[in-house]
């Protein structure tokens, strides 16, 4: 998904288009006969409230800019265009019943003034502009407030422009069951100014395409809150030339086609709470040429259909993206594919039971697709954070591409991970209190780091260098085809219980140790089988910590490590401790050309074994 989003260029050109025709509303005003409101707060249908003294018709250009409020409580009001606030004076319209039809443009807040329109109650309807090519402006170069409440409706057919000019501010509230604004064209939320839209308590907003923060210096913030509250848009760019934010809460929903988050400025989508959901039928890009952020929490969801790219960087890089899915019932499902880091830096974090499903578990996940990209997948906490309960990624495979790919496991408790990992990616086992069991066949070629806790290899790791450091433990009876580096503070404990761990070469640094179970004979004890050399690294202790296997050790010889050659070691380098049923254990090490042996020389017995107290 390296290529740019199919609507991005359209959106960018659209922003220029929006600016080029921004003066259309003022043009309509200047070439039409105007009817000016002269009343304070009064009835729209009272001729004496107008200059000239006649109720406006569909051919009248209406200007309310004297601080007054025109009220409509019934009937059918008309105007060619409507301007609220201009020439240093504010203006308002209050509708509680009835209809208002505009032929061309509507404009709230001009020349630094405030324009306010309130529609309230079932049956209250504003329609327009219905023809004539006019747009509807909430804040042209002033401050506009539009409220659609308690079942009122509004229908427009041309561009919906919120906060047109730099310094303008627009506030739109669509609140209550049945309340709606249906726009048959583009919704520009923050053209060059700052716009805030709230859809709440069952309100609905519908348009064709949408840009949030469309122009340089703009900002756009949309909140959809409450059960049955919905925003529907065919395509959407979030953070086009300014910062854009969409928040879904308390069951609020959003339906879009293609969705780009972080286009040429930062974009953020947050969904919080059960029932809060975004549905995208087109591709979903997070970070195109600017940062993109997505957060799903407390049972929120995203359902997408045509692939997800986090950290897309489609505009020559720079579009970093991150996504968080957290909470036991929080979920993200895509029916095609998941890409984390295409041509930029992408991060996906799954925590506290949150899930991401790729084609119901049959789709592929790719990290760091292109050269220079970075892709990180976090199960639980990030590398810089403490252990956090993890979530789940339902995918057929996880593959590293040509960039830098990393999978972090940082969760408490025990977990089994059996999704095959391949390509050029690295794996880090973090979290001191947890055990990660890697089952299945993994062919990835990057590094494996056991920084803390236990990595239990039950399947197969490919040509990866495995480093055991700090308080990390490498265990299991699987196979590691690459080399193992045991550093100071790290531990190797072969077997899942008693068993044999197979690896390539071993570079053993002083201060690293082995934890072995010794049973009644060599066959029932732990072993490390190397396909290459055993190498000593540094001066210090090289210790084995022995404990009982299925039975205590006997006077036998135990093969601890086999190898093709050893470098730098002598038998005198090794020491041991013992904890088990016997009071003490005595023995000696022997280093042969292909094995490290331990000969049990003496096993003192406890007097209790002979019935003596």
How would you class 268 by CB atoms within 10 Å of its CB: exposed for 0-12, middle for 13-18, buried for 19 or more? buried
Ramachandran quadrant class, 75 (left: phi over 0; alpha: psi -120 to 50; beta: rest): left
* Residue 305: C-alpha distances to residues 255, 335, 360 (Å): 12, 5, 11
Return the residue matching tokens 């193992």.
484
Report the DSSP beta bridge partners of residue 127.
101, 155
Rounded CA separation 483/164 (Å): 62
Count CB-CB contacts under 10 A for residue 211.
33
CB-based contact 515:499 (threshold 8 Å): no
**Is the CB of residue 140 less than 8 Å from the CB of residue 109?**
yes
Place 605 in a pLDDT band, splitting at 50, 70 and 90. Answer: low
Q: How confident is the model at residue 314 (pLDDT cuts 50, 70, 90)?
A: confident
Is 62:79 a contact under the CB 8 Å cutoff? Answer: yes
The least confident of 56-60, 174-178, 356-360, 607-611 is: 607-611
208 assigned to some structural domain:
no
* Confidence band for 316, pLDDT divided at 50, 70 and 90: low
- Does 608 have pLDDT greater than 90? no
Report the percentage of the chain scoring pLDDT > 70. Answer: 92
| Last residue in a domain, options 148, 164, 180 | 164
More confident residue, 464 or 9: 464
Q: Is the pLDDT of residue 26 over 70?
A: no
The confidence score (pLDDT) of residue 133 equals 64
Rounded CA-CA distance 431/387 in Å is: 5
Q: Output b/e per residue, 215-235; b: 16+ Cβ within 10 A.
A: bebbbbbbbbbbbebbbbbbb
Answer whether residue 367 is part of any domain: no
* Start-to-end CA span in the chain (Å): 76
pLDDT, tens only, 497-534: 899 999 999 999 999 999 999 999 999 999 999 999 99
Least confident of 50-54, 150-154, 265-269, 601-605: 601-605
Domain hosting 531: range is: 515-610
Among the candidates 107, 135, 164, a domain finishes at: 164
- Give how far Cα 350 sits from Cα of 271, 323, 382, 486, 552, Å: 15, 9, 10, 30, 43
Give the contacts of 412 (CB within 8 A, at least 6 positions apart). 380, 387, 388, 389, 431, 433, 434
Report the SS3 class of residue 572: helix
Rounded CA-CA distance 254/271 in Å is 10
Identify the three-state secondary structure at position 11: helix
Distance CA 598, CA 603 (A): 14
- By residue count, the chain amounts to 613
Phi/psi class of residue 221: alpha, beta or left (left: φ > 0; alpha: ψ in -120 to 50)? beta
Q: Is the C-alpha dihedral spanning 606, 609, 610, 611 positive or negative?
A: positive
What is the overall mean pLDDT for the chain? 93
Is the CB of residue 269 less than 8 Å from the CB of residue 261? yes
Q: Give the strand pairing for 557-562 and 595-602.
A: antiparallel
Residue 432 located in a structural domain? no
Instruction: Say whether pLDDT at 21 is over 90.
Output: no
pLDDT at 603 over 70: no
Q: Give the single-character DSSP code of 4.
A: P
> Could you tell me if residue 508 is inside a domain?
no
Nearest to 252 by CA among 238, 269, 235: 269
Residue pLDDT, tens place only, 536-551:
999 999 999 999 999 9
Cα 2 to Cα 460: distance, rounded to the nearest angstrom: 32
Buried b (16+ CB within 10 A) or exposed e, 497-513: ebbbbbbbbbbbbbebb
CA distance 610 to 608: 5
Last residue of a domain, one of 104, 130, 164: 164
pLDDT tens string 458-469: 999 999 999 999
Structural domain contains residue 62: yes
Give residue for tokens 């042209």.
Answer: 140
Q: What's phi and psi for 162, nearest 5 deg?
A: -110, 125
pLDDT value of residue 13: 38
Residue 396 lies in a domain: no
- Percent of the chain surpassing pLDDT 90: 89
238 in Cβ contact with 215 (< 8 Å): no
Specify the pairing of strand 34-37 against strand 50-51: antiparallel
Residue 33's pLDDT band (cuts 50, 70, 90): confident
Find out whether 411 and 431 touch, Cβ atoms under 8 Å: yes
Residue 319 lies in a domain: no
* Integer Cα distance of 360 and 339 in angstroms: 16
How many domains, the chain? Answer: 2
Residue 30's pLDDT is 45
Residue 461's SS3 state is: strand
Query: At residue 613, does pLDDT exceed 60?
Result: no
- The strand pairing partners of 260, in sequence order, are 237, 285
Task: Tell me the pLDDT tens digit for each residue of 581-592.
Answer: 999 999 999 999
For residue 180, tell me if it sits in a domain. no
Degrees to nearest 5, angle at CA 603 with 600 and 609: 150
Cα–Cα distance list, 171 to 85, 145, 247 (Å): 15, 5, 16
For 497, list phi and psi in degrees, rounded to 5: 90, -125
C-alpha dist (Å) from residue 13 to 140, 141, 148, 215, 581 = 20, 22, 31, 11, 79
């Amino acid at each position: 998904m390296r290529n740019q989003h199919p609507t991005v260029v359209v959106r960018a050109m659209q922003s220029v288009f929006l600016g080029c025709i921004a003066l259309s509303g003022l043009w309509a005003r200047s070439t039409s006969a105007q009817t000016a409101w002269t009343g304070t707060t009064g009835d729209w249908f009272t001729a004496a409230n107008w200059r000239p003294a006649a109720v406006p018709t569909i051919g009248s250009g209406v200007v309310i800019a004297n601080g007054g409020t025109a009220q409509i409580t019934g009937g059918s009001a008309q105007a060619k265009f409507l301007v609220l606030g201009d020439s240093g004076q504010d203006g308002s319209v209050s509708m509680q019943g009835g209809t208002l039809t505009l032929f061309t443009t509507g404009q709230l807040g001009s020349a630094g003034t405030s324009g306010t329109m309130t529609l309230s109650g079932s049956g209250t309807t504003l329609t327009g502009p219905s023809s004539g090519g006019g747009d509807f402006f909430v804040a042209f170069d002033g401050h506009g407030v539009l409220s659609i409440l308690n079942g009122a409706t509004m229908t427009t057919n041309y561009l919906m422009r919120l906060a047109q000019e730099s310094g303008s501010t627009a506030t739109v509230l669509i609140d209550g069951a049945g309340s709606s604004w249906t726009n048959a064209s583009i919704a520009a939320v923050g053209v060059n100014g700052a716009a805030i839209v709230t859809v709440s308590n069952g309100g609905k907003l519908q348009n064709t395409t949408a840009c949030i923060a469309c122009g340089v210096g703009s900002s756009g913030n949309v909140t959809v809150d409450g059960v049955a509250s919905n925003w529907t848009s065919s395509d959407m760019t979030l953070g086009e030339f300014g910062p854009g934010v969409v928040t879904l809460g308390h069951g609020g929903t959003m339906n879009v086609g293609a969705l780009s988050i972080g286009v040429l400025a930062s974009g953020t989508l947050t969904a919080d709470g059960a029932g809060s959901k975004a549905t995208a039928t087109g591709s979903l890009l997070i970070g195109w040429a600017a940062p993109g952020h997505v957060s799903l929490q407390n049972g929120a969801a995203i359902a997408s259909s045509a692939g997800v790219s986090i950290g897309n960087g489609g505009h020559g890089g720079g579009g970093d993206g991150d996504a968080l899915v957290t909470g036991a019932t929080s979920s993200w499902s895509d029916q095609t594919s998941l890409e984390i880091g295409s041509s930029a830096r992408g991060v996906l974090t799954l925590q506290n039971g949150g899930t991401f499903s790729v084609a119901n578990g049959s789709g592929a996940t790719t990290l760091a697709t292109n050269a220079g990209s970075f892709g990180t997948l976090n199960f639980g906490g990030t590398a810089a954070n403490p252990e956090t309960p993890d979530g789940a990624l339902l995918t057929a495979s996880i593959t590293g591409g040509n960039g830098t790919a990393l999978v972090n496991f940082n969760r408490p408790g025990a977990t089994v991970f059996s999704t095959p990992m391949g390509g050029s990616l690295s794996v880090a086992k973090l979290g001191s209190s947890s055990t990660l069991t890697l089952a299945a066949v993994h062919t990835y070629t990057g590094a494996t780091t056991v920084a803390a806790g236990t990595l239990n290899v039950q399947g197969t790791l490919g040509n990866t260098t495995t480093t055991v450091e700090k308080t990390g433990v490498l265990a299991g009876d699987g196979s590691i085809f690459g080399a193992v580096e045991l550093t100071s503070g790290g531990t190797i404990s072969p077997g899942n219980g008693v068993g044999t761990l197979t690896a390539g070469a071993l570079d053993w640094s002083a201060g690293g140790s082995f934890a072995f179970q010794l049973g009644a004979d060599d066959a029932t004890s732990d072993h490390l089988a190397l396909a290459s050399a055993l190498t000593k690294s540094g001066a210090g202790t090289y210790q084995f910590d022995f404990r009982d296997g299925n039975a205590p050790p006997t006077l036998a010889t135990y093969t601890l490590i086999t190898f093709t050659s050893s470098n730098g070691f002598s038998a005198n380098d090794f020491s041991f401790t013992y904890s088990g049923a016997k009071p003490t254990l005595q023995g000696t090490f022997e280093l042969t050309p292909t094995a490290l042996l331990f000969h049990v020389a003496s096993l003192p017995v406890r007097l209790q074994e002979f019935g003596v107290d």
